[in-house]
Structure 1
Amino acid sequence: MERRHESLATPWAAGVAGVVFAVLMAAAIVLVRIALPDGTGADNPTVDAGQRSAVRTALELLPFAGIAFLWFMGALREQGGESEDRFFSTVFLGSGLVFVATLFGAAAAAGTVLDESQQHPPFGRHFVYVLLTTYALRMAAVFIITTSTIGRRRGVLPRPLVAIGYLAGLALLVVGANVPWSELVFPAWALLLSVNILRSRRPARTQPAASA
């Protein structure tokens, strides 16, 4: 009975964790985009107090977004079971872990750069921007494509959501951050996937021990 209850609760945990990640990640991206519209601030080396406050708030949200994503990824992997193809399972796990590592690295570097003197050129901000948009978004694209492929092969994702996943992954893989606000594609996809999980898998009521 405990095994069955745990397996039924896994999709619910994945859906909730995905929603939390999507909300926190989107909020951090919006704050950074509003504070630094050009991404690196190369045209304006100085950053005023309001911009610093917005970026600091975004940096405080990113660790919690990364933790929620790890929970989301783990619940999805548990839902996939042991019968999943090892190749896709390895790519799924690797891309998710590299994304979180890159996200945390960019956040730590951004926190250090934010405390530097305003007279310094914005090389550090450019490094953070490239690390987040070039590498983290590419790993997010691989994660989206792999998850969509696993969902299609197992038949657990509807075809429209699979098609949206492939389009979102290819967009992040090819376009990257060349298009403003394209970073929101990943949390938007995670939110759609999480809502689909929550709608299709409701938490089961615990049955009495005697009936089990």
Structure 2
Amino acid sequence: MAMKAQALRTPRAAGLVGIAFAVLIGAAIVLVRASIPSGEGALTGSPLSLSSRGGVQTALALIPFAGIFFLWFIGAVRAHVGPGEDKFLSTVFLGSGLVFVATLFGAAAAAGSLLATTEIASPGTPRAELSYFGQHFTYSLLTTYSMRMAAVFVLSASTVGMRLGSFPRWLVLLGYLVGVTLLFVVPNVPLAELVFPLWALVVSLHIVVASFRSRPTGLPGA
């Protein structure tokens, strides 16, 4: 029975880590959006202010931990879904999650490089052009590639949860709505990518609540 109790506690703890991921990645996204200009603002090639540089540095400090917590979150979702998951969908689910982490780290590396290129940049100089390239590259990784991998992750997780009855209907519908938003809306609407940490937060809370509901009240035959 000790092994069974441990199996119940593990998803609960991993669900709490999923909440930590949602908070950290949400904060990092807001900091990057607030600190690094996009669109026409990036064309000026102006160096980042001290406050903006501080915001990027804080986001860079949060992202590695967010990525680590996200790996725990993947495990929490798989443990909650349980045995019998579709091998095709589970492979897509796991693969998209890993690619999301890789592209997220790539965006963080691009933002870190941007700090170096904008330190002494001035409009019209080659360094300013390099700064614009860094800003565009950072947002491309974050909003185009990373968030679309997150969309595949959300859609596959929601489909597996629906087929196995592990997710309630409202959570499945929320997942599909978030997935479509990440696929088609995020590149054009600033901060729309926050729907992903919001979904992760809701799923993590669902896993934590479900783990308490399945908590054994006593030993058989006691």
Once the two structures are superposed, residues 48-86 of structure 1 have per-residue CA deviations (whole angstroms, 9 ceiling, x without a partner) of 111110011011100000000001102222333342110
**Cα distance in structure 1, aligned partners of 2:177 and 2:78:** 22
Q: Distance in 2 between matches of 1:205 and 1:58?
A: 41
Which segments of 5 or more consecutive residues in structure 1 lack a partner in the other structure?
Answer: none
Q: What is residue 74 of structure 2 aligned with on the other side? A: 73
Q: Is 1:28 matched up with 2:28? A: yes
| Residue 198 to residue 40, structure 1, CA distance change in 2 (3 Å) | farther
The question of 1:118 aligning with 2:121 is answered yes
SS in structure 2 opposite 1:110? helix
Give the one of 127, 130, 145 matched to 2:140. Answer: 130
Aligned counterpart, 2:18: 18
Contact 1:28 1:57 in 2 (8 A): yes
Q: How many residues align?
A: 210
Give the root-mean-square deviation of aligned CA atoms.
2.1
CA contact (8 A) 1:5 1:206 kept: no
Does structure 1 residue 161 correspond to structure 2 residue 162?
no
Give structure 2 stretches of 5+ with no counterpart: none
For the structure 1 residues 34 and 25, does the alpha-carbon distance in structure 2 shift closer, same or farther, using more than 3 Å as the test? same
Q: C-alpha separation between the residues in 1 aligned to 2:66 and 2:59?
A: 10
Deviation at 1:112, TM superposition (A): 1.5
Quick check: which one's helix share is greater? 2
1:8 and 1:147 map into 2 onto residues whose CA distance is: 20
Percent identity between the aligned chains? 55
Q: 1:113 to 1:11 in 2, by over 3 A?
A: same
CA distance 1:21–1:40, shift in 2 (3 Å): farther
TM superposition shift of 1:12: 0.5
- In the other structure, the counterpart of 1:59 is 60
Query: How far is 1:124 from its partner?
Result: 1.4
Q: What one-letter code is carried by the residue in structure 2 that aligns with 1:156?
A: S
1:207 Cα shift? Answer: 6.9
1:132 maps to a residue whose letter is L
State TM-score, norm by structure 2. 0.87
Shift in Å, 1:184: 0.3
CA distance in structure 2 between the partners assigned to 1:102 and 1:41 by the alignment: 24
- 2:192 maps to a residue whose letter is S
Q: Distance in 1 between matches of 2:141 and 2:208?
A: 33
SS at match of 1:201: helix
Contact between 2:38 and 2:136, CA under 8 Å: does it hold in 1?
A: no
Corresponding residue for residue 161 of structure 2: 151
Distance in 1 (CA, whole Å) between partners of 2:99 and 2:67 is 11
Does the 8 A contact of 1:41 with 1:125 survive in 2? no
In structure 2, C-alpha distance between the alignment counterparts of 1:185 and 1:72, rounded to whole Å: 16
Please report the TM-score for the alignment, with normalisation by the length of structure 1: 0.91
